Amino acid sequence: MGDVTGDDPYLWLEEVEGEAALAWVAERNAETADALSADPGFDPLKKRLREVLDASDRIPYTVRRGPHLYNFWRDAEHVRGLWRRTTLEQYRKDAPEWDVLLDLDALADAEGEKWVWDGARVRRPDHDLALVRLSRDGGDAVVVREFDLETRRFVEDGFRLPEAKTRIGWIDADTVFVGTDTGPGSLTDSGYPRQVCRWRRGTPVADAELVFEAGQEDVSAWGQHDSTPGFERDFVGRSLDFFRSETHLLRPDGTLVRLDVPDDALAYAHRRHLIVTLKSEWLGRPTGSLLAFDFDAFLAGDRTPEVLFTPDERTALAGHAWTRGHLILETLRDVSTRIEVLTPAPGGGWTREPLVGVPELSAVSVVDTDPDVSDEYFLDVSGFLQSSALYRGRIGGDTETLKQAPDRFDTAGLAVRQHFATSRDGTRVPYFVIGPDHAATGPGPTLLYGYGGFEVSLTPYYGAVTGRAWLEQGGTYVIANIRGGGEYGPDWHQAALRAERPRAFEDFAAVAEDLVARGITTPAALGAAGGSNGGLLMGAMLTRYPELFGAVVAQVPLLDMTRFHKLLAGASWIAEYGDPDVEADLPHLLDLSPYHRLEADRTYPPVLLMTSTRDDRVHPGHARKTAARLRELGHPVLFHENTGGGHAGAGDNEQAAHNSALMYTFLRRHLT
């Protein structure tokens, strides 16, 4: 193990805007530009990727708010984007007429800020006002401004907040729930709101009525108003850590009634129901179950559930969404989506039936519903080699194809297969292979992607950028569904928590070895890529299994596991990894930490580290320090830090195309 266990010689690179740190970044960026941007294939590739990202015939996905369908749109002409809306009648047309509400390019030019859209909360049921969230160059922190949807202007003396990791939502036309930075004591150690206040129009936010407060070491606090007619209720709660929380009903007199469910369960009210997703066993029901209770009866002490979903060893809950009278249930069976419609019966019990036929190895997701008004749903269907189609339907009624995206890359000779690798402890790990028939072509350049954390599932999707940059060029793309994710439910995630994180690393390595054993690739032709927590995975591959790979790319990575909790939002991830300040946790975190595992006398594959100065979630210091350490030890490393873009690494399509072109140029150069 490396010798960076005491004083860290590269702490100065954690000064995000430090003069010396930024000078070092500029030098590394120049080296990477010389090595990759100057490649004769770079500019043509970037141009083709920009065409995909800016294409005018992309599907403009929408959300319904009353009679309108809202969309946020970027293209070559509107780099920062347009917030706009239309009607369903217009949306059915090939070229709908859009009502532009806010032009972010014009706003950015007028105010001299690199605004990045972070969404808007439209007030229900009148849909007349919105709370617009704007990020400076892509960070998680936002400014909030009230917007009038009729005049298409910001409300001059409306709700307005300076930059912070704010949580805000409507109660009524003149009142919101808000949590923001109002000075000492208002934020948690993770940098998120600690307090929930009821803020009335025309008053200073500092004078807002405090209705709930979380602990300093909690992750965050939140408040929410349920405006469903006949079921108007207020809720507040706190996130104890990334996976545990408490939810309280806030009564009109200010008293709190805690929803008495396990603190690792997800619980919310919908009309007369309390819906609970289990992350551990409860009431005799297994982890991963979905339960429904009568809300009022539950508060009175009744704990008799109606079981909406029970997992098995191959099937897990992926999500669910309400229409006016039905629940659309999304499940994964060996990482392939299935959709059912559940309907509550007036006298109790639920009926269920399939919604639509779902193609094998495809992804189906509910894009939007309008649970207050109708049984309308919007459904996206795609696959690795199947461009997206957007369907609209009504439960029990007809379905129409609203939009069909064109194919963006040549799929001739390509196929999708699913295989299973056997991990070190005997666990069966699924993975998808997208590429040519290797029995005919022999081993070839292959890119293996993974994440393995926070119960995030990697499901099939149509990746136009990967298709153009990699698959069309003869490469094979592989997605590994390793432990730490949610592909098989909470147990699959919890198997790689904290000191068990190496199980995720072993799973990924097992997939790499299986790819070679099947003749799909060779170690020299196998690349690995991942971002954020997946960047930690890449650091593990680099330092634990360097012989398995010909190149590694880590994007906005987490790499110093002894200091992550002191940097930006890192304290919120202690439940996932452990606490470096706890004596019992430090040994396994030191063992997990790629930054501390680097050694001079090991041979590592070439590595590209990518981050963003404006990433206020995973600190750019992780990638900076690791690049510096690799350079010090004489190992091959390239480093690129985008000055904007936040945790996404890119704030617009130009930056996104540039970053992708860098990555695929690097991989093409090294994988043979």
Q: Is 647 a catalytic residue?
A: yes
Task: From the candidates 68, 326, 640, 647, give the one annotated as an active-site residue.
Answer: 647
Segment 231-254, tens digit of pLDDT: 999 999 999 999 999 999 999 999
Does position 5 have pLDDT exceeding 50, yes or no?
no
Which listed residue (220, 336, 387, 532) is catalytic? 532
Question: Are 317 and 339 spatial neighbours (Cβ–Cβ below 8 Å)?
Answer: no
CA distance 329 to 340: 5
Task: Give the confidence band of 360 by pLDDT, cuts at 50, 70, 90.
Answer: low
Contacts for 3 with CB less than 8 Å, ≥ 6 apart: none
H or E segment to which residue 537 belongs: helix 533-544
Of the pLDDT bands very low, low, confident and very high (cuts 50, 70, 90), residue 355 is confident
What does the block give as tokens for 33? Answer: 């530009």
One domain for residues 288 and 319: no
**What is the per-residue pLDDT across 42-96, written as a single tens digit (0 to 9) for each?**
999 999 999 999 999 999 999 999 999 999 999 999 999 999 999 999 999 999 9
List Cα–Cα distances, 556 to 269, 572, 632, in angstroms. 36, 17, 21
Distance CA 42, CA 67 (A): 45
Q: How would DSSP label each residue in 395-426?
A: TTS-EEEEEEPPP-S--TT-EEEEEEEE-TTS
Q: Of residues 317 and 364, which shows the higher confidence score?
A: 317
* pLDDT given for residue 253 in this prediction: 95
Q: Is 148 exposed, middle or buried, given 0-12, 13-18 or 19+ CB atoms closer than 10 A?
A: middle
Return d(Cα 483, Cα 489) in angstroms, integer: 10
pLDDT tens, residue by residue, 155-194: 999 999 999 999 999 999 999 999 999 999 999 999 999 9
pLDDT at 6: 57
Does 285 share its domain with 417?
no
Smallest Cα–Cα separation from 331: which of 309, 351, 350, 307? 309
Q: Are 224 and 281 in the same domain? A: yes
Is 539 part of a structural domain of the chain?
yes
Task: Specify if 245 maps to a domain.
Answer: yes
pLDDT band at 3 (very low <50, low <70, confident <90, very high): very low
Whole-number pLDDT of residue 577: 98
131 three-class SS: strand
Given a cut of 70, whether residue 359 has pLDDT beyond it is no
Tell me the CA distances in angstroms from 665 to 111, 308, 470, 473, one per residue in order. 36, 48, 10, 11
Q: What's the pTM value of the predicted model, to 2 decimals?
A: 0.92
Each residue of 296-321: pLDDT tens digit? 999 999 999 999 999 999 999 999 99
Tokens of 291: 């339960």
Q: What is the pLDDT of residues 437-463, one digit of tens each?
A: 988 899 999 999 999 999 999 999 999
Beta bridge partners, 120, equal 132
pLDDT of residue 90: 98
Please indicate, yes or no, whether residues 246 and 263 belong to a single structural domain of this protein.
yes
Q: Are residues 396 and 415 in the same domain?
A: no
Q: Are the CB atoms for 211 and 198 separated by under 8 Å? A: yes
Tokens of 451: 């994440």
The closest alpha carbon to 122, from 73, 76, 67, belongs to 67
| Residue carrying the six token digits 């429904």 | 292
pLDDT band at 644, cuts 50/70/90?
Answer: confident
| CA angle, 240 then 504 then 526, to 5° | 135
The CA distance from 210 to 636, in Å, is 54
Task: Choose one of 281, 309, 337: the last residue of a domain.
Answer: 309
Identify whether the C-beta of residue 377 lies closer than 8 Å to the C-beta of residue 395: yes
> Are the CB atoms for 84 and 71 separated by under 8 Å?
yes
The 10 Å Cβ neighbour count of residue 47 is: 11
Q: Residue 312: count other Cβ atoms within 10 Å of its Cβ.
A: 11
- Say if residue 39's pLDDT is above 60: yes
Average pLDDT, the chain: 95
For 365-374, write each residue's pLDDT tens digit: 999 999 989 9
The DSSP element (H or E) to which 322 belongs, if any, is strand 315-322
Residue 304 and residue 316 share a domain:
no
Domain membership of residue 564 as a residue range:
11-50+408-670
Q: Which residues, at least 6 apart from 280, have a Cβ–Cβ distance to it below 8 Å? A: 262, 264, 265, 287, 490
Domain boundary among 354, 374, 406: 406
Please give the Cα distance from 411 to 467 (Å, whole number).
8
Question: Residue 56: inside a domain, yes or no?
Answer: no
Element of type H or E holding 536: helix 533-544
Residues 215 and 116 in one domain: yes
Q: Do 271 and 349 have their domain in common? A: no
Percentage of residues in the chain with pLDDT exceeding 70? Answer: 98
* Position 391 in a domain: yes
Output DSSP code: residue 79.
S
CB 16 within 8 A of CB 25: no
Give tens-digit pLDDT for 378-396: 999 999 999 999 999 999 8
The model's pLDDT over 95-136, given as tens digits with 9 standing for 90+, comes to 999 999 999 999 999 999 999 999 999 999 999 999 999 999
Asked whether residue 625 carries a pLDDT value surpassing 80, the answer given is yes
For residue 266, give the 3-state DSSP assignment. Answer: strand
Could you tell me if residue 16 is inside a domain? yes
Annotated catalytic residue 239: no
Question: What does the DSSP 8-state code read for residue 485?
Answer: B
502 and 393 assigned to the same domain: no
Closest to 411 in 3D by CA, of 337, 356, 464: 464
Rounded Cα distance between 423 and 498, Å, is: 18
The residue written with tokens 């594959």 in the block is 605
Question: What is the CATH classification number for the domain harbouring 227?
Answer: 2.130.10.120
618 and 653 share one domain: yes
Q: Please give the average per-residue pLDDT across 651-655, as a whole number.
A: 89
Mean pLDDT confidence for 3-32? 90
Percent of all residues in the chain with a pLDDT value above 90, rounded to a whole number:
93
Residue 361 one-letter amino acid: L
278-289 confidence digits (pLDDT tens): 999 999 999 999
Task: Report the pLDDT value the prediction gives residue 4, as an integer from 0 to 100.
Answer: 41
pLDDT digits (tens, 9 = 90+) for 523-567: 999 999 999 999 999 999 999 999 999 999 999 999 999 999 999
pLDDT band (50, 70, 90) for residue 362: low
Tell me if 302 is assigned to some domain: yes
The CATH code of the domain that includes 446 is: 3.40.50.1820
**Those residues with Cβ within 8 angstroms of residue 147's Cβ, 6 or more apart along the chain or in another chain:** 101, 102, 120, 129, 130, 131, 132, 153, 154, 155, 158
**Average pLDDT of 138-153?**
96
Q: Is residue 517 part of a domain?
A: yes
The region, left, alpha or beta by phi > 0 then psi within -120 to 50, assigned to residue 98 is: beta
Of 355, 379, 406, which residue constitutes the final position of a domain? 406
**Strand, helix or coil at 549?**
coil
Q: ω into residue 311 within 30 of 0, thus cis?
A: no
Report yes or no on 6 lying in a domain.
no
479 and 580 fall within a common domain: yes
Shared domain check, 316 and 170: no
Q: What is the mean pLDDT of residues 205-219?
A: 97
Give the Cα-Cα-Cα angle 343, 349, 353 (nearest 5 degrees).
Answer: 40
Q: Give dist(CA 261, CA 245) in Å, integer.
A: 10
Total domain count, the chain = 3
Angle, alpha carbons 381-483-579 (nearest 5°): 120
